[in-house]
Chain A
Amino acid sequence: MSWSKKWRKYSAVAITAAQSRAAYWQEMGARTFFFAIVLFTFSGLWGRIIGTDGTLAGYSRQQLVWYLTLTEAITLSATSLLQEVEQDVKTGQIAYLLAKPLNYLLYQAAYYFGEMAVTTSLNFLAGGLVAWALVGLPAITLSGLAQALILVVLGAAVRFCLLAAIALLSFFVEESRPFYWIYSKFIFTLGGLFLPIDLYPDFFRRLAALLPFQSITYGPARAFISGDWGQFANSANMALLWCLALTGLLSWEFAKGVKQINVNGG
Chain B
Amino acid sequence: MLAIRTKNLGKEFWRQKKASGLLGSVRSLYQQDKERVVAVRSLDLEIAAGESVAFIGPNGAGKSTTIKMLTGILHPSYGEAQVLGLTPWQERQRLAFHIGTVFGQKSQLWYHLPPADSFFLLGRIYELDQRTFEQRQAELVERFELKEFFHVPVRKLSLGQRMRAELAAALLHAPQVLFLDEPTIGLDVVARQSMRNLIKEINSLGITVFLTSHDTGDIENLCRRVIMIDNGNLVIDQSINSLKRDHLAAKIIRVRLEHPVEGLPPIDGAQVLKHKGAGLKISLDTKKLSVDELYMRLRQLAPIADITIGDPPLEDIIANIYRHNQGGGEGHELEQEVAQI
B65 contacts which of A9, A20, A266 (Cβ < 8 Å)? Answer: A266
Q: In the complex, A150 Cα to B99 Cα: how many Å?
A: 40
* Residues in B neighbouring A5, C-beta threshold 8 A: 127
Stretch of B41-49, B109-117, B271-279, B290-298 at the chain-chain interface: B109-117
Contact A263 B13 (CB under 8 A): yes
Chain A CB within 10 A, most for which of B65, B75, B113, B125: B125
Chain B CB within 10 A, most for which of A5, A19, A100: A100
Q: Given A23-B153, A101-B125, A262-B74: A96 and B106 within 8 A (CB)?
A: yes
- In the complex, whether A265 has a CB less than 8 A from a CB of chain B is yes
B112 contacts which of A1, A8, A12, A20 (Cβ < 8 Å)? Answer: A20
> What's the tally of chain B residues with a CB closer than 8 Å to chain A?
37
Q: In the complex, A264 Cα to B77 Cα: how many Å?
A: 12
* Residues in A neighbouring B14, C-beta threshold 8 A: 263-264
Contact A102 B73 (CB under 8 A): no
Contact A99 B73 (CB under 8 A): yes
* CB interface residues, B 112-129, toward A, < 8 Å: 112-113, 117-118, 120-121, 123-127
- Chain A residue with the shortest CB-CB distance to B71: A99
A12 contacts which of B92, B101, B125, B153 (Cβ < 8 Å)? Answer: B125
* Residues in B neighbouring A101, C-beta threshold 8 A: 93, 96-97, 125-127
A114 to chain B, nearest CB (A): 11
* CB interface residues, B 126-140, toward A, < 8 Å: 126-127
Q: Given A263-B13, A264-B13, A266-B64: A16 and B120 within 8 A (CB)?
A: yes
A108 to chain B, nearest CB (A): 14
Q: In the complex, A24 Cα to B112 Cα: how many Å?
A: 9
* Residues in B neighbouring A98, C-beta threshold 8 A: 72-73, 92
Q: Tell me whether chain B's interface is mostly helix, strand or loop, or mixed.
A: mixed
A99 contacts which of B64, B101, B123, B124 (Cβ < 8 Å)? Answer: B101
Contact B124 A9 (CB under 8 A): yes
A95 contacts which of B39, B68, B117, B124 (Cβ < 8 Å)? Answer: B68
Contact B13 A265 (CB under 8 A): yes
* Residues in B neighbouring A199, C-beta threshold 8 A: none
Q: In the complex, A101 Cα to B99 Cα: how many Å?
A: 10
Q: Tell me whether chain A's interface is mostly helix, strand or loop, or mixed.
A: helix
* CB interface residues, B 25-75, toward A, < 8 Å: 37, 39, 64-65, 68, 71-75
Q: In the complex, A232 Cα to B249 Cα: how many Å?
A: 83
A: interface residue count bin: 20 to 34
B59 to chain A, nearest CB (A): 14
Render A224-266 as a binary contact track against B, CB cut-off 8 A, 1 for contact: 0000000000000000000000000000000000000111111
B16 to chain A, nearest CB (A): 8
A69 to chain B, nearest CB (A): 28
Q: In the complex, A24 Cα to B155 Cα: how many Å?
A: 13
- Chain A residue with the shortest CB-CB distance to B37: A265
Q: Given A16-B121, A99-B72, A100-B125: A265 and B15 within 8 A (CB)?
A: yes
- In the complex, whether B144 has a CB less than 8 A from a CB of chain A is no
B152 to chain A, nearest CB (A): 13
A183 to chain B, nearest CB (A): 25
* Residues in B neighbouring A102, C-beta threshold 8 A: 96, 125
Q: In the complex, A16 Cα to B92 Cα: how many Å?
A: 25
- Chain A residue with the shortest CB-CB distance to B121: A16
- In the complex, whether A13 has a CB less than 8 A from a CB of chain B is yes
Q: In the complex, A20 Cα to B111 Cα: how many Å?
A: 8
B265 to chain A, nearest CB (A): 56
Q: Given A16-B117, A23-B112, A261-B74: A96 and B101 within 8 A (CB)?
A: yes
Render A100-140 as a binary contact track against B, CB cut-off 8 A, 1 for contact: 11100000000000000000000000000000000000000
- Chain B residue with the shortest CB-CB distance to A17: B110
Contact B113 A16 (CB under 8 A): yes
Q: In the complex, A54 Cα to B96 Cα: how many Å?
A: 63
B66 to chain A, nearest CB (A): 11
Q: In the complex, A100 Cα to B338 Cα: how many Å?
A: 36
Q: In the complex, A266 Cα to B106 Cα: how many Å?
A: 15
Q: In the complex, A151 Cα to B112 Cα: how many Å?
A: 31
- In the complex, whether A143 has a CB less than 8 A from a CB of chain B is no
* Residues in A neighbouring B73, C-beta threshold 8 A: 95, 98-99, 261, 266
* Residues in B neighbouring A8, C-beta threshold 8 A: 124, 127
- In the complex, whether B150 has a CB less than 8 A from a CB of chain A is no
Contact B74 A264 (CB under 8 A): no
Contact A96 B108 (CB under 8 A): yes
- In the complex, whether B103 has a CB less than 8 A from a CB of chain A is yes
A residues sitting closer than 8 Å to B (CB atoms) are 1, 5, 8-9, 11-13, 16, 19-20, 23-24, 91, 93, 95-96, 98-102, 261-266
The 4 A-B residue pairs with the shortest CB-CB distance in the complex, in nearest-first order: A12-B124, A23-B112, A265-B13, A101-B96
14 A-B pairs, CB-CB below 8 angstroms?
A: A8-B124, A9-B124, A13-B121, A16-B117, A16-B118, A24-B112, A95-B68, A96-B108, A101-B127, A265-B13, A265-B39, A266-B64, A266-B65, A266-B74
- Beyond contacts A101-B97, A263-B14: 8 other A-B pairs, Cβ-Cβ < 8 A, are A16-B120, A23-B113, A93-B106, A99-B71, A99-B96, A101-B93, A261-B74, A264-B15
